[in-house]
Amino acid sequence: MKNARIILIDDDETLCEGVAFILRDEGYSVMNTSSPVEGIELIGKNIFDIALIDYKMPHLTGIEIMKEIKDKNPATKVFIVSGKPFIENVLEEENVSHLVEGIIKKPFKEETLLNALKGALA
Amino acid sequence: MKNKEEQAGEALRDSEIRYRRLFESAKDGILILDAETGMINDVNPFLVEMLGYSREELLGKRIWELGSFKDVIASQDNFMELQREKYIRYEDLPLETTDGHRIDVEFVSNVYFVERKKVIQCNIRNITERKQREDELYRLNRALKASSRSNQAMMRATDETEYMNEACKIIVEDCGYKMAWIGFAESDDNNFLCPAASVGIEDADLATSGNIENAQDLSDNVIFVEETAFCKAMLAAPQFKRVQEQALKQGYASSIVMPLMDRGRAFGVMSIYSEVPNSFPGNEMGLISELVGDLAYGIMELRLRKLHAKIQDALENSEKRYRALFDSMTEGFALHEIICDDNGIPCDYRFIEINQAFEKLTGLKRNDVLYQTHNEILPGDNPAWVEFYGKVALSGEPIEFESYSSDLKKYYQVFAYRTMPHQVAALFMDISERKKAEEILMRDKETLESIVKERAEALLDIQAKLERAKRLSDIGTLAATVAHELRNPLAAITISAVIIRRKAKDEAVREQLKNIDKMVDESDQIINNLLFYSRLGTPHHKNIVIYDIIDECVENLRRQIKKNVRLKRNFDYLKGLIMSADPIQMKEVFHNLLHNAADAVSGGDGEDDGEIEISADSYPEFIKIRIKDNGQGIDIQHQEKVFDPFFTTKAKGTGLGLTVCNQIVNIHGGSIDIESEPGNGTTVTIVLPKKGKLR
């Protein structure tokens, strides 16, 4: 599913652009933004197969964005991409573990990311 | 032959002679009076002797001129009555002799004619003795009656006032006196009498205390001298001047005041008043004083009876109170009779009385104790008990002591005192608990001190740990922040390297990118250790497949180490085993231990010989995993410190790896053990329970 639609939201612009570059290079159809607010707009206008979302961002958390995505299209698979220590515990505490397809911990390796996407799209 | 005249004259003379002889020798007194004039014509010698007047003194006198007859024929009026009636008889009018004696007489007068002249013949018979006998009989009868009634009154009496009123009544009703009253000394100085009972006081005025007081002059005196005083003719007595008028009004002529005596001391008086003067002759006094004596005795007896009843009552109350206290008190009580040997030295004692607390405190039953001796009941007991009680019995001094009963296995605190010779009472409490505590305190004083010292040290240790925890918590906050902030750039670096790798075909560049990856890994691991060390908390237990975790870590390691290090996998026993643990923490443990082993084998010169073996055993309750390397080993002096935080021998490293491993295994209820020989490698053994137990 090389043409799968992926949205990428991370307030770290360098990382966000870098990952978007790799994924486009892999043939995915990628929309990316460093602004969570813009992210919400994109989500409102488009349908995505996969969402890669940072947890900690200004104004909005990854969980809030994930809920928007799931409201819009429950089929969208969401990965939380975060360097926050013990993020698993946070998701459990917030009672959203079941909404999450997977956690990709920063710093992550190329194959970790690509394997996770392949797994989700298989 | 005499003629009739002569015969008549002779007969007259004979008659005259016979009359004269009779007149002269008669044993009655005879008076012949001229009935017209009342003049005494003749008197016989018996009367002369009876009255003490001479015949000459009497003859020719008129009868009312003589003192003796003033009551009999006291006036011409009476004489005229005699003339009219021709006969009178008296028995109740005594005559008075010249020397003042009164004689009881029977007085019979007849009027008749002698030679046509009216004469009165008075026959006077002395009946004093008869009168006296009659009087004595009367008095005896009265005394008996009074005495009997008095005795009855005394027997019946329950109330003192009633009894005294009865006594006064006896005096008045049976003894025939006008009035009787009883008074008591009001106070010790006996100066004033308080009226207590009276009979015969009709005048209300006299019954008031003021008037009684007036009548008491004599009575006061009696109390004072404690002798009988009497006043035969009340109105003539000088001390009664004050009450003359009153006495007159009441018609008292004489009185007597007798002390009521008790053991030689007067406590009151009985006062008796008579309307007849000279009313208290000797025999009368005997009766009255006997009655008064009985009265005094009776009053005292009544008071004694009353006192006795009161004492009896008080005694019963006291007994009841004592019994209640005796049975309800918490202290044990025992009354002992001390038994002495032939030399008078106490050798045993007998229990005479015990209370309920005694039974409770000793465990001995009343029936088994009473009237038994100490040596019988407690033959093996401490002889000190006999000594203590014996000492009290001999000295009479109360003592307080503490003693142990070896038979009862108890300590008692005792207060003992002598109640009477050879009897000792004891009050006691069980102080075994206190004694035990004291003994333990004494014995364990040192132990306690050392315990205190230990506790103090433990507290210091806890304090140190708390301080460290606080420090760790600060480090934790810092580490979490730093971790997050560093991981983003590390991720960006990694991604940049990936992008470069995709564009650069040059092998040398690719090699450099590999180094970047490796450095990022190492940095990430440092961050992880710092996080685990500072943020270790309650593990999030899940059912995990431990084999998969170890496998993942081993395979990660394989990718990172040099190809000439052999990884021997001997942990297939764990396949399929599900156990309860925190997967992230478990991954951390094996990641760290495997990297330590890899560091150990890669540091030496003989790189080709590097070998790491991972083996495992499964037991019913736990699993055992060994990670063995043939690396450089740990110096002996470092072996103790390997779990200390921030201890490291590596050129780079935080010194947190083993610390974190140890803590994670510990909080999972397992253990971690390191065996190492410098130069010959290290074996780390981890034991983990299958069911996640929290320590």
* Cα of B417 vs its chain's centroid, Å: 18
Q: Are B664 and B592 in contact (CB under 8 A)?
A: no
CATH at B580? 3.30.565.10
Tell me, yes or no, whether B251 and B397 share the same domain: no
Token pair for residue B663?
């803590």
Q: Cα angle vertex B261, ends B259, B266, to 5°?
A: 65
Q: Among B484, B490, B540, whose Cβ lies nearest the Cβ of A89?
A: B540
Q: Cα angle vertex A45, ends A40, A47, to 5°?
A: 95
Residue B60 gets the label, from left (phi > 0), alpha (psi -120 to 50) or beta, of: left
Beta strand B611-618 pairing with B622-629: antiparallel
Beta bridge partners, B335, equal: B353, B425
Contact A22 B502 (CB under 8 A): yes
Is the bond leading into B238 cis (omega within 30 degrees of zero)? no
CATH at B214? 3.30.450.40
For residue B695, the model assigns a pLDDT of 39
Query: Is residue B478 one of the residues assigned to a domain?
Result: no
Tell me, yes or no, whether B95 and B152 share the same domain: no
Query: Is residue B152 one of the residues assigned to a domain?
Result: yes
A105 interface with B at CB cutoff 8 Å: yes
Contact B488 A15 (CB under 8 A): yes
For residue B180, the model assigns a pLDDT of 85
CA-CA distances (angstroms) from residue A108 to B493, B494, B640, B680? 10, 7, 36, 37
Q: Among B480, B495, B517, whose Cβ lies nearest the Cβ of A85?
A: B480
Token pair for residue B473?
């918590």
Q: How far apart are CA A11 and CA B372, in angstroms?
A: 102
For residue A42, the model assigns a pLDDT of 93
Least Cα distance to B487 among B526, B455, B518 occurs for B526
Q: Are B633 and B603 in contact (CB under 8 A)?
A: no
Distance from CA of A106 to the nearest CA of B (A): 5
Tell me, yes or no, whether B119 and B145 share the same domain: no
Q: How far apart are CA B237 and CA B230, in angstroms?
A: 10
Token pair for residue B19?
């009359």
A58 interface with B at CB cutoff 8 Å: no
Query: Is residue B504 one of the residues assigned to a domain?
Result: no
Q: Identify all chain B residues contacting A15, using CB atoms and an 8 Å cutoff.
A: 488, 491-492, 495
Q: Are A58 and A39 in contact (CB under 8 A)?
A: no
Q: Identify all chain B residues contacting A89, using CB atoms and an 8 Å cutoff.
A: 540
Tell me, yes or no, whether B96 and B182 share the same domain: no
Q: Are B35 and B119 in contact (CB under 8 A)?
A: yes
Asked whether the predicted pLDDT for residue A102 surpasses 80, the reply is: yes
Helical pair B128-156 and B282-328, crossing angle rounded to 10 deg: 10
CA-CA distances (angstroms) from residue B194 to B225, B271, B303? 17, 13, 17
Least Cα distance to B574 among B596, B552, B593 occurs for B552
B residues 512-571 near A, CB within 8 Å? 517, 520, 524, 531, 535, 540
Q: Cα angle vertex B444, ends B438, B450, to 5°?
A: 140
Tell me, yes or no, whether B241 and B343 share the same domain: no
Count structural domains, chain B. Answer: 4
Token pair for residue B382?
């401490």
Instruction: Report phi then psi at B409, rounded to 5.
Output: 60, 45
Q: What is the mean pLDDT of residues A41-56?
A: 93
Domain limit, last residue, from B290, B307, B324: B307
Query: Is residue B289 one of the residues assigned to a domain?
Result: yes
The pTM of the full predicted model, rounded to 2 decimals, is: 0.37
Q: Where are the beta strands (DSSP E) in B482-608?
A: 542-545, 566-570, 578-581
- Rg (Cα) of chain A, in Å, rounded? 13
Q: Cα angle vertex B660, ends B656, B663, to 5°?
A: 140
The 3 state secondary structure assigned to B228-283 is CEEECCHHHCHHHHHHHHHHHHHCCCEEEEEEEEECCEEEEEEEEEECCCCCCCHH
A111 interface with B at CB cutoff 8 Å: no
Q: Are B502 and A25 in contact (CB under 8 A)?
A: yes
CA-CA distances (angstroms) from residue B211 to B60, B246, B248, B251? 55, 9, 14, 15
Tell me, yes or no, whether B669 and B607 share the same domain: yes
Beta bridge partners, A8, equal: A32, A52
Query: Is residue B459 one of the residues assigned to a domain?
Result: no
For residue B207, the model assigns a pLDDT of 39
Q: Identify all chain B residues contacting A18, using CB atoms and an 8 Å cutoff.
A: 492, 495-496, 498-499
What DSSP element (H or E) covers B209?
A: helix B209-214
Beta bridge partners, B346, equal: B340
For residue B219, the model assigns a pLDDT of 56
**What chain A residue is nearest to B540 in terms of C-alpha separation?**
A89
Q: Are B385 and B374 in contact (CB under 8 A)?
A: yes
Query: Is residue B224 one of the residues assigned to a domain?
Result: yes
For residue B215, the model assigns a pLDDT of 45
Domain limit, last residue, from B70, B104, B126: B126
Q: Where are the beta strands (DSSP E) in B498-654?
A: 542-545, 566-570, 578-581, 611-618, 622-629
**What chain A residue is nearest to B583 in terms of C-alpha separation?**
A88
Tell me, yes or no, whether B141 and B235 share the same domain: yes
Q: Among A12, A21, A109, whose Cβ lies nearest the Cβ of B488?
A: A12
Q: How far apart are CA B182 and CA B165, in angstroms?
A: 8
**Which ipTM score applies to this complex?**
0.87
Helical pair A62-72 and A36-45, crossing angle rounded to 10 deg: 10
Distance from CA of B502 to the nearest CA of A (A): 9
For residue B212, the model assigns a pLDDT of 39
Contact A107 B498 (CB under 8 A): no
Q: Among A19, A83, A85, whose Cβ lies nearest the Cβ of B495?
A: A19
pLDDT per position as a tens digit, B134-153: 877 887 787 778 878 888 88
Amino acid at B143: A
Q: How far apart are CA B411 and CA B34, in angstroms?
A: 123
Query: What are the average pLDDT values for consecutive 10-residue runs of chain B, which has 695 residues?
Result: 75 82 84 82 86 83 69 61 74 74 80 80 82 78 79 80 85 82 69 72 45 47 58 56 61 79 81 77 76 85 86 87 83 92 91 90 91 90 90 91 88 91 91 84 78 86 76 73 87 91 86 86 82 71 90 87 83 88 89 89 65 90 91 85 79 77 87 89 92 55
Token pair for residue B153?
């009154």
For residue B53, the model assigns a pLDDT of 82
Q: How far apart are CA B289 and CA B296, in angstroms?
A: 10
Contact B492 A14 (CB under 8 A): yes
Distance from CA of A109 to the nearest CA of B (A): 7
Domain limit, last residue, from B102, B126, B150: B126
Query: Is residue B383 one of the residues assigned to a domain?
Result: yes
Tell me, yes or no, whether B344 and B299 share the same domain: no
Distance from CA of B623 to the nearest CA of A (A): 26
pLDDT per position as a tens digit, B413-432: 999 999 888 899 999 999 88
Q: How far apart are CA A82 and CA A61, in angstroms?
A: 11
Least Cα distance to B562 among B628, B498, B606, B504 occurs for B606
Best to test chain A binding among B475, B487, B495 (most A CBs inside 10 Å): B495
For residue B231, the model assigns a pLDDT of 60
Best to test chain B binding among A10, A52, A106, A111 (most B CBs inside 10 Å): A106
Token pair for residue B345?
């030295």
Beta bridge partners, A80, equal: A53, A103
Tell me, yes or no, whether B121 and B139 share the same domain: no
The 3 state secondary structure assigned to B62-131 is EHHHCHHHCCCCCCHHHHHHHHHHCEEEECCCCEECCCCCEECEEEEEEEEEECCEEEEEEEEEECHHHH
Q: Is B490 exposed, middle or buried (0-12, 13-18, 19+ CB in 10 A)?
A: buried
Contact B491 A12 (CB under 8 A): yes
Best to test chain A binding among B475, B490, B498 (most A CBs inside 10 Å): B498
Q: Are B231 and B217 in contact (CB under 8 A)?
A: no
Q: Is A73 exposed, middle or buried (0-12, 13-18, 19+ CB in 10 A)?
A: middle
A114 interface with B at CB cutoff 8 Å: no
CATH at B432? 3.30.450.20
B491 interface with A at CB cutoff 8 Å: yes
Which structural domain range is residue B643 located in? 538-689
Tell me, yes or no, whether B574 and B595 share the same domain: yes
Tell me, yes or no, whether B562 and B673 share the same domain: yes
Query: Is residue B277 one of the residues assigned to a domain?
Result: yes
- The full set of domains in chain A, from first to last, is 5-121 (3.40.50.2300)
Tell me, yes or no, whether B551 and B412 share the same domain: no
Amino acid at B352: I
Distance from CA of B630 to the nearest CA of A (A): 31
B481 interface with A at CB cutoff 8 Å: no
**What chain B residue is nearest to A23 in terms of C-alpha separation?**
B499
Least Cα distance to B548 among B579, B513, B506, B515 occurs for B579
Q: Identify all chain B residues contacting A110, using CB atoms and an 8 Å cutoff.
A: 494-495, 498
